[in-house]
Every structure is written in structure tokens, then in C-alpha cells.
């Protein structure tokens, strides 16, 4: 067996042709950023004075929106970030794992990556609420007396959305792309009609217009406008995370050929309508639509925002599984909802926590305008973390000259810091919510890492030299019974304590012993030929290192079945699996972990998913051995 795990480029396997894949990507990758016209310019105009906004402010804000889309989404993410993948996978966690492969387990890279990922959850909870509510607020224009039904309808839709997650999205997945295609075509046409009302709005394509407004001395108002402008790119980080589902070519095709032009046209159309002097109340997006078609547009917008919300929820599931496989979070129950795609999963705990937070935000804030104050602050911090990691990758992976890396990295960082600073103005108005959620998740990740390391140090101290067992087996002093025993352990050398505890209480060992160590590699997928390393360390005692990528689900029985087929004397029909169940207590000498950290880790360990489920072991063949660790 090889000592090195290999990568299967998942995004290159079994995909349809490029245009078809680009169409499917519309519904998954671009749902969030594609529905941002519903609230971005509306939020900006609320700051600048609504219908009384000065033309310079409208043109300046539009210019900033357009160039933010160009620089942040097109240049940073579509052009640069999509080129840096970890075995075909993208996103801040995959990028963190890739850099840790090269630099070792440096705390700086780990903390930066996990804090950036944790903050994504904060905005993931807000996206469904603000998107669905923004769409339904079109009812205020269709019939003002329907305004009181917007919030209740939003709550009903959100509850229904989370309630059906356990069914998976495989059945409706093929419909998402065509619906979003209709959505982007519709907002393009609305934008063209709006531009026809005031064609001079196209001057905003000149970056000088935006820069002049930015440095016009508007003070606090300008900062608030920049915070609103940032809402146009809140889906860019998710775009990078979806790299593994589609590959870079379909994402780039869909962005360049349809999504980006549609967004530019619609934002310009909204600004042109505002500049034309027309009076409008509420969401300017809906004022671009002829009155007879307004209700169908509200329905289409609602469908689009539901799709955007579905993409965010699915992304939260995928990112959680990555974090679990990388050892950043405790094991959670994961259900594969479809055999059609590995990304079709359901995590009940994540789903219901997201639903609880999302509904609380929707009811607590009550409108998309108020939700916008809480939106964007966490993802702007994540984008800054991604910029730092991307800069490291440019230097270490691409070997770009240091001056070029510094110039590009600083340019992106200045932009990210500017957006983060502007969004920090929203902290008191609700921005503290995603920051608090992100901080809690980051704390959980750090506690889990700290606790697992403390337990592992104790386990390492309990192991006994393999020579001691070998001598006893050779002398026949240890009775052997028929069958195969599989001991699941973390150790990579000598004999793990779980074997010693079993021998101490039972007084014998099975005829075949397998000490299985499941290793999660810092790559997404491992080739089958590099899946296992097997070594006989004593008579009829094998140590097996099973390698899995951080996007894979371990299956120990299937692994043993393949080993039996290759000639190893393990009988899959007569296997007993031995796994440890740990209990955490505080050290009495006061030298252990701080009490809050230890208590939190004990709670997480007690409520984490069982190893039986994680390794897909048959429950009627499992023996659990209790162990206590004082940390």
C-alpha cells in the first residue's frame, strides 16, 4: 500500500456538458448574489434620502455597486480564487486545509480559517429571512392593505423551507436552474426598461464617478452607503465554496454570460428610474415593473429567494461536514438524502438551529430594511480572512513574485477593510447578531480542538509497547477465540488502551485482530488504491490506517470487506467492533483545562454523534468500552 493519499478531482467526474452544468449552477451558486437587487439599492437609497436623493449620490452609489461587482466578484473570486482549489474543492475551509498541508498545523492559519468559516454561519441565518421578506414586500405595492401579511407569510415560507430539508433537493434540483434563468432574464429586461428612462445613468460605469462620491466628504452618510453597497456581493464567498460541485468553467460561464450582465442592467435600471424623477415608495426594484405584471414578478421573486435560501442552507450543511471531517466540530448526525450527488445531505441539528435563528431574526427585525442593518458584517470579515489566505496561496502555490503578491493582496485587503469598517457602523443596529453567532461557533471550534488534543495526550500516555503483546501472543499466554475483533483507535503506533482494557476484562483476544485508525486527510477525496495501509504488527494482529478526504464519509465495514477480498484473514460475517465511549471530568490538581472550556467540551462530546454512526458500523456487532479522562 502507498503511504501517501491521492486526490480524485471530484469536480471532473461524471458531469454533463458545460452549458447544461452552467444552467444548473444558476440555481445553486448564484441564488444569493442573484437576488441582491431586491434590497441592495433600496438600502442605499434609504440612507441617501429615498426619492429625494441627490443625483450625484445615486450615480455615485451605482458606480460603487458596479465596480464592487467587478473587483470583488469578477476579479477576486471568479478570476483568482477559483484557480486555487484543494483537490477540486473551494471555500475558506478547503483553502485552510490546503495551506496547512504546506505549512503544517500553524495556529495562525487554523484560527484564521475557522473564524472566517464560523462567521459565514451568521450571515447564512440572515440570508433566508432578508431574501424572502424582500420579495414579499412587493405585495405592499400590489395592494397596500396586504402589508400586514408580509411578515406572517415570510414566517410560513421559512418554516416550510426548513421543514422539507430532510427530503433533500435532488428531486427539485433540476428545476432550480431554469427558474433562475427566467429570473435573470426578467431582471435584465426590467433593467433595460429602466435605463431607457434615463440613459445618462450609464456614466456610472466610469469608476471616477464612484471615487468622486466616495471622497466627497459625506462622512457618516458615505460610510453607511458603502455598507449598503457591500450587500451586492454577499454571495461571492458562497460562489467560491461551490467550486467542488460544478468546477470553475461552468461557474465562470454562468457569471460572465448571464449573471453579471443581468445584475449590471438591473442595478442601472433601478438607478435610472430614481434619476428620472419618478416618485416611488418602498422597494424601487418593483417600480421597474408594469403594474399588470407586478403580482407575477412578486411570485417569481419569491421563488428566486426560496432558491437562494435553499442554496445557503445546503451550503451550511456542506461546510459543517467539512468542519467535522477536519476535526473542527464534534460529530453530528448526517443523512445522505440522495445517491445522485455526495452534496445531497441533511444535518438535523444544523437545520433546526438555523431555522430557530432565522425565524427569530425575521420576527425580531420585522422588515428587510431593518434586517439589512445586520446583514453583511460577518461575510465582510470572512472576505478579509479569505484575502489573507489567498495571498499566502499566491506566494506558496503559484510562486508569484513577492512584490506582485503584496500589491494584489494589499489592494484586496484595503477594499475588504473598507467594507468591514463601513459594516461596523451597523453593529448597534443589529450587526452584533451575526458577529455573536460567529463568535459562538468559533468558540465551539476552538474548544473542541483543545479538548480533543488534551484527551489524545492522555491516550498517548496509556499505550503499551507492541513488543509486550507480541511476546505474550508468541508464548501462548493469551488465549485466542474464533472471529475477528476490530478496535477503533486514534493511535498510529504501539497498542492502544482500548485493546488493553478489553484484554484486562475478558482475558482473551480474537483469532484476528484489526486496530483501525481512521485518518482524515487535508484533501477532499482519496483514491481507492491509496485508501488503506495495512501492516501486521504481531501474529494475526494488523494495524490498518484508513484514509478519507474531508468530503468523504468513512465506511469501516465496506473497508474490511475489500480487505477480505484481497486475501486478508478477516471474516466480515463474524466481526465484533470495539469502540470507546469517553467521559470527561475535571482534574483535581487544578492543572487541567479552564473550567468553562472543560465543561463545554464535555457537553459537546456527550452530545456528539456516536462513532458507530460515523463509521457506519452495524449496531448489533458493536461493543462499547467506557473510559474516563480527567482533563
pLDDT the model gives residue 120: 84
Strand partners of residue 580: 625
69-101 pLDDT tens trace: 999 999 999 999 998 888 778 888 888 888 887
- Helices 432-462 & 107-136 angle (0-180, nearest 10): 140
pLDDT in the model for residue 123? 77
Distance (Å, whole) CA 124 – CA 43: 19
Q: Is 396 exposed, middle or buried (0-12, 13-18, 19+ CB in 10 A)?
A: middle
pLDDT, one tens digit per residue, over 293-314 is 999 999 999 999 988 888 888 8
In terms of Cα–Cα distance, which of 90, 160, 147 is closest to 390? 90
**Which pLDDT does position 69 carry in this prediction?**
96
Q: Domains plus CATH for the chain?
A: 19-450 (1.20.1740.10), 463-630 (3.40.50)
Task: Give the CA radius of gyration of the chain.
Answer: 27
Cβ–Cβ under 8 Å, residues 165 and 346: yes
* pLDDT tens figures, 379-391: 899 999 999 999 9
Q: What pLDDT shows up at residue 6?
A: 31
Phi, psi of 377 (to 5 degrees): -65, -40
Burial 433-469 (b: 16+ CB within 10 A, else e): bbbebbbebbebbbbbbbbbebbeeebeeebeebeeb
Task: Give the count of beta carbons closer than 10 Å to the beta carbon of residue 244.
Answer: 24
208/311 Cα distance (integer angstroms): 35
The Cβ of residue 371 has, within 10 Å, a number of other Cβ atoms equal to 24
Residue 489 backbone phi and psi in degrees, to 5: -150, 160
| Whether the Cβ atoms of residue 614 and residue 554 lie closer than 8 Å to each other | yes
Contact present, 21 and 250 (Cβ < 8 Å): yes
All residue ranges of the chain with pLDDT < 50 are 1-16
pLDDT of residue 467: 66
C-alpha closest to that of 503 among 528, 547, 538: 538
Amino acid at each position: 500500500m502507498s503511504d501517501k493519499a491521492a486526490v480524485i478531482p471530484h469536480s471532473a467526474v461524471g458531469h454533463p456538458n458545460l452549458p447544461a452544468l452552467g444552467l444548473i449552477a444558476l440555481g445553486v451558486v448564484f441564488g444569493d448574489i442573484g437576488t441582491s437587487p431586491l434590497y441592495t439599492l433600496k438600502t442605499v437609497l434609504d440612507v441617501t434620502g429615498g426619492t429625494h436623493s441627490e443625483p450625484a449620490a445615486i450615480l455615485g452609489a451605482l458606480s460603487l455597486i458596479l465596480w464592487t461587482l467587478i473587483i470583488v466578484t469578477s476579479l477576486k473570486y471568479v478570476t483568482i480564487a477559483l484557480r486555487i482549489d484543494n483537490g477540486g474543492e473551494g471555500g475558506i475551509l478547503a483553502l485552510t486545509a490546503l495551506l496547512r498541508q504546506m505549512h503544517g498545523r500553524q495556529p495562525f492559519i487554523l484560527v484564521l480559517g475557522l473564524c472566517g468559516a464560523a462567521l459565514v454561519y451568521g450571515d447564512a441565518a440572515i440570508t433566508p429571512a432578508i431574501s424572502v421578506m424582500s420579495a414579499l414586500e412587493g405585495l405592499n405595492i400590489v395592494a397596500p392593505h396586504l402589508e400586514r401579511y408580509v411578515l406572517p407569510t415570510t414566517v410560513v415560507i421559512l418554516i416550510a423551507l426548513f421543514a422539507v430539508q430532510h427530503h433533500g433537493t435532488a428531486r427539485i434540483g433540476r428545476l432550480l436552474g431554469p427558474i433562475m434563468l427566467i429570473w435573470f432574464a426578467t431582471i435584465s429586461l426590467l433593467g433595460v426598461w429602466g435605463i431607457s428612462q434615463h440613459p445618462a445613468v450609464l456614466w456610472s460605469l466610469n469608476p471616477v464617478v464612484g471615487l468622486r462620491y466616495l471622497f466627497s466628504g459625506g462622512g457618516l452618510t458615505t460610510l453607511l452607503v458603502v455598507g449598503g453597497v457591500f450587500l451586492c456581493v454577499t454571495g461571492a464567498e458562497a460562489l467560491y465554496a461551490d467550486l467542488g460541485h460544478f468546477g470553475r468553467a461552468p461557474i465562470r460561464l454562468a457569471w460572465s454570460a448571464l449573471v453579471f450582465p443581468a445584475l449590471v442592467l438591473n442595478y442601472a435600471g433601478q438607478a435610472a428610474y430614481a434619476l428620472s424623477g419618478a416618485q416611488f415608495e418602498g422597494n424601487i426594484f418593483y417600480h421597474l415593473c408594469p403594474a399588470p405584471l407586478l403580482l407575477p414578478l412578486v411570485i417569481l421573486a419569491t421563488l428566486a429567494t426560496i432558491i437562494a435560501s435553499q442554496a445557503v442552507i445546503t451550503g451550511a450543511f456542506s461546510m459543517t461536514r467539512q468542519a467535522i471531517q477536519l476535526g473542527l466540530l464534534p460529530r453530528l448526525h448526517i443523512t445522505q438524502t440522495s445517491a445522485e450527488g455526495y452534496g445531497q445531505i441533511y444535518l438535523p441539528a444544523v437545520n433546526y438551529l438555523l431555522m430557530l435563528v432565522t425565524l427569530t431574526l425575521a420576527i425580531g427585525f420585522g422588515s428587510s430594511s431593518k434586517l439589512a442593518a445586520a446583514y453583511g458584517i460577518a461575510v465582510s470579515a470572512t472576505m478579509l480572512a479569505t484575502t489573507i489566505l489567498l495571498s499566502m496561496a499566491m506566494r506558496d502555490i503559484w510562486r508569484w513574485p513577492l512584490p506582485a503578491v503584496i500589491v494584489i493582496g494589499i489592494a484586496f485587503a484595503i477594499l475588504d477593510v473598507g467594507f468591514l469598517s463601513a459594516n461596523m457602523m451597523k453593529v448597534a443596529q443589529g450587526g452584533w447578531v451575526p458577529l455573536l453567532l460567529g463568535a459562538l461557533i468559533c468558540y465551539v471550534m476552538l474548544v473542541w480542538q483543545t479538548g480533543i488534543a488534551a484527551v489524545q495526550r492522555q491516550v498517548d500516555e496509556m499505550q503499551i509497547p507492541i513488543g509486550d503483546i507480541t511476546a505474550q501472543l508468541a508464548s501462548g499466554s493469551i488465549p485466542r477465540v474464533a472471529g475477528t475483533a476490530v478496535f477503533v483507535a486514534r493511535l498510529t503506533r504501539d497498542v492502544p488502551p482500548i485493546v488493553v482494557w478489553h484484554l484486562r476484562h475478558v482475558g482473551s483476544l480474537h483469532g484476528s485482530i484489526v486496530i483501525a485508525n481512521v485518518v482524515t486527510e487535508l484533501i477532499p477525496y482519496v483514491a481507492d488504491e491509496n485508501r488503506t495501509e495495512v501492516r501486521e504488527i504481531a501474529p494475526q494482529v494488523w494495524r490498518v490506517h484508513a484514509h478519507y478526504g474531508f468530503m468523504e464519509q468513512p465506511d469501516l465495514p465496506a473497508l474490511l470487506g475489500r480487505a477480505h477480498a484481497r486475501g486478508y484473514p478477516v471474516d466480515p460475517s463474524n466481526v465484533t467492533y470495539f469502540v470507546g465511549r469517553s467521559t470527561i471530568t475535571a482534574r483535581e490538581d487544578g492543572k487541567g483545562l479552564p473550567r468553562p472550556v472543560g465543561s463545554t467540551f464535555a457537553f459537546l462530546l456527550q452530545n456528539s454523534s456516536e462513532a458507530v454512526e460515523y463509521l457506519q458500523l452495524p449496531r448489533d456487532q458493536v461493543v462499547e468500552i467506557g473510559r474516563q479522562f480527567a482533563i
